[in-house]
Amino acid sequence: MKLFFILCFILPLLWIVNIFAQDTLRSYQLAPVEIVAKKNISIIDKNSYGTDYNSSLFDKNGYNLVRRGSNFTQDLYVEGFNRSDIKVLIDGEQYHNACPNRMDAPAIRLNPLEMQSVDLSKSGSLINSGLYGKVEYHRSEIDEQIQLKTLINGAAGAQKDFDVAAIIEGYKTNLSLRYSRGLPYENGDGKRFTDLYNYKDNFKYKYGSIGLRHEGKNYKMGASFTLSEDISFPFLMMDEIYSRVYSAFFDLYGNKLYFNYTDHLMDNTLRKSNMLMMTDTKNLTVGLTGSFYEVIYRRWDADNIIENPAMNIRLSNHLMPEINLLAATGTHRFNIAFLTLFIKGGLQYYGMGDISRLDIYKTLYSASEDSRIFFNGGINLFYSGELTNDIIFSVSAEAVSEAPEAEQLFIAVERPMSNPNWFGNPTLKQPVRMGLRSIFDYSFVRIESFVNYTYNYVNIEKKNIGAKGVMTYDNINAAIMGVNLMFTYKFLETNLSYLYGENLTNPGALAEIAPFAVTSKINLPEIYNFSFSIIHRYENSQKRIDTELNEFPSSAWNTISLGVRYQISDFVLNLEAENLLNHNYSRFLSYSRNPFSAGTKVFDPGRTFRLSLYYNKLF
């Protein structure tokens, strides 16, 4: 394994030295590769967005959407990093999750018709980025002409749902709407959530959003509201009863002031249970951001109740005790000869409003304090150039440091009977990631290799207070390395991803490392406005797991899907058959980092037929 990664990095570097030795005056004419990959969101992406866990936005180059239940439960996973390691933004606006379990993860809860493009970056040295980069959506420019866009999406078979989105705009004003409703799906064996996960019924979920935007000569402004209800999360012991998100922004000459507020409630009333669990959370984010700076204020509060009247149990937890976050960050870019240098620096403050909860943490960590200050910084040295007429090579070396997540520092949940408590660790050190990445682009092949060594990686640890078990957090050193290979030739596109993670402090497997995966797509030539595609997906078994954190080994699986698209004038019609052979499978997931994990596998849907209609008309 070590030899494999040495070959991936050392041999390319030796080749570069040889190239420069032969031709030190070489002039590179090809446009350099940037550390931010800009991708326009195509009609195909918009058709499947929010319902397809294998959207072409996130099924390649190390990006994944993780299934945690029915539609609108996806969360982002990138090369072994997840949660706030990858920040998700819309035009510079941060949307923090209010749910400590990330039920309201912002990766997919938007109107796809409103989005023009997305920036994908794995660098932590850019503005608005986390320890492992960011995913930033960009809204479309508003047209002066009157324009109508609609997207209607419906599914039958194992999944039964529909999704309607519309935008009407003109005179630099835009109104956007989206409404989605459906049932939890059946797996490949035809079993429903009631059969698999102890639900009382297959409850219909609902998601809706409305937004209004306007653009002037030097300013932009907008406001939106989204509502989601009864979204089933079988990977947890609770479900999303509702989330209400209010947001607004005003941008003047590229300087944006914005806010978003989330009111979120989750409980287990959709399940068969004698015990009630309920968590009520509120999150407010206010930000000021521009091309090179960001100032953020966040207030996060969450209350939890666990009760069983028959056993005379009632526990009340101030789960997130009025956490206040204040952060200021700036970035700068330098060009030094053939190198590009990115630098980021700033301060981040955490403070507890309810200091009475401090005594809980002191049962484990006597040095706990009610506030912390961290220095967040990053430096990325980047090179890209043409080695030969048809080979582009780029390499980046990076060091990034980010504060731990708020819940890792301050979450506090006392649980009944033999269930372990879950306490944060206010004494955590901040993670420091050292990374090296190389990319080769040659005609129809792209090879990306990377190594990340993280000091003070935040990991779960089991402890005891007397006879009571406690799940908490501690720092370890960890290494994550991998390779992404992309092959595109004529009608064939293939993407392969491989990861290897190691706990260096307690030698063994690092938790939450996705197995080897391959996605292949054949796009047949267009005939009379018809386009045909065949998609094959394969994920290997993952036997290398952290048994101390109750990870499960997974089995290998593969699926085949078919697609037919017809486009004429202002209409695009798309028909897909997903999981055509009706395989019953579950993907590798880890529940170890969650205080309310159900500890059960979440199966993927069986055979599903999906029909979508896109209409775009200028008047």
* Segment 495-544, tens digit of pLDDT: 999 999 999 999 999 999 999 999 999 999 889 889 999 999 999 999 99
| DSSP, res 61 | T
- The pLDDT of residue 587 is 87
Mean pLDDT, residues 142-157: 92
**Residue 428 reports pLDDT greater than 90:** yes
pLDDT (average), residues 413-430? 92
Mean pLDDT of 196-225: 95
| Chain-centre distance for alpha carbon 348 | 22
Between 37 and 182, whose confidence is greater? 182
- Residue 588 — very low, low, confident or very high, per pLDDT cuts 50/70/90? confident
> Has residue 594 got a pLDDT over 80?
no
Q: Is the confidence at residue 22, as pLDDT, over 60?
A: no
Q: What is the pLDDT of residues 73-93, one digit of tens each?
A: 888 889 999 888 999 999 999
pLDDT bin (cut points 50, 70, 90) of residue 108 is confident
* pLDDT at res. 133: 93
- Residue 243 contacts by C-beta under 8 Å, 6 or more apart in sequence? 98, 99, 103, 104, 226, 227, 228, 262, 263, 264, 265
d(CA 455, CA 475): 8
Amino acid at 194: T
Give all domains of the chain, ordered by start, each with its CATH number: 46-618 (2.40.170.20)
Is it the case that residue 60 has pLDDT exceeding 80? no
Decide if 503 contacts 68 (C-beta within 8 A): no
- Check residue 44 and give its pLDDT: 60
The long-range contacts involving 53-56, CB below 8 angstroms and separated by at least 24 positions, are 53/604, 54/519, 54/535, 54/537
555 token code pair: 């089995």
Return the DSSP state at 45. Answer: H
Task: Give the pLDDT score at 598.
Answer: 81
pLDDT greater than 90 at residue 18 = no
pLDDT of residue 29: 35
- Average pLDDT of the chain is 88
Share of the chain above pLDDT 90, in %: 67
Query: Which of these, 580, 441, 593, lies nearest to 513 by C-alpha position?
Result: 593
Rounded to whole angstroms, what are the CA distances from 371 to 17, 367, 424, 459, 567? 49, 12, 13, 21, 57
Better pLDDT: 47 or 523: 523
Closest CA to 124 of 84, 92, 97: 84
Instruction: Please name the amino acid found at residue 20.
Output: F
The reported pLDDT for the residue numbered 46 is: 60
At residue 188, the pLDDT reads 94
245 bridge partner residues: 226, 262
Higher-pLDDT residue of 347, 111? 347
* pLDDT at res. 48: 58
What is the per-residue pLDDT across 469-488, written as a single tens digit (0 to 9) for each?
A: 899 999 999 999 999 999 99
Average pLDDT estimate for 271-300:
96
The confidence score (pLDDT) of residue 101 equals 83
Q: Determine contact, residues 240/268, Cβ cutoff 8 Å.
A: no
pLDDT for residue 4: 43
> Has residue 120 got a pLDDT over 80?
yes
For position 593, what pLDDT does the model report? 58
pLDDT at 555 over 50: yes
User: Which residue, 277, 103, 268, is CA-closest to 198?
Assistant: 268
Can you tell me the mean pLDDT for 384-399? 89
For position 107, what pLDDT does the model report? Answer: 66
Q: Kindly give the residue spans of alpha helices, DSSP state H, lying in 314-454.
A: 358-362, 406-410
Considering the chain, what percentage of its residues have pLDDT values greater than 70? 90
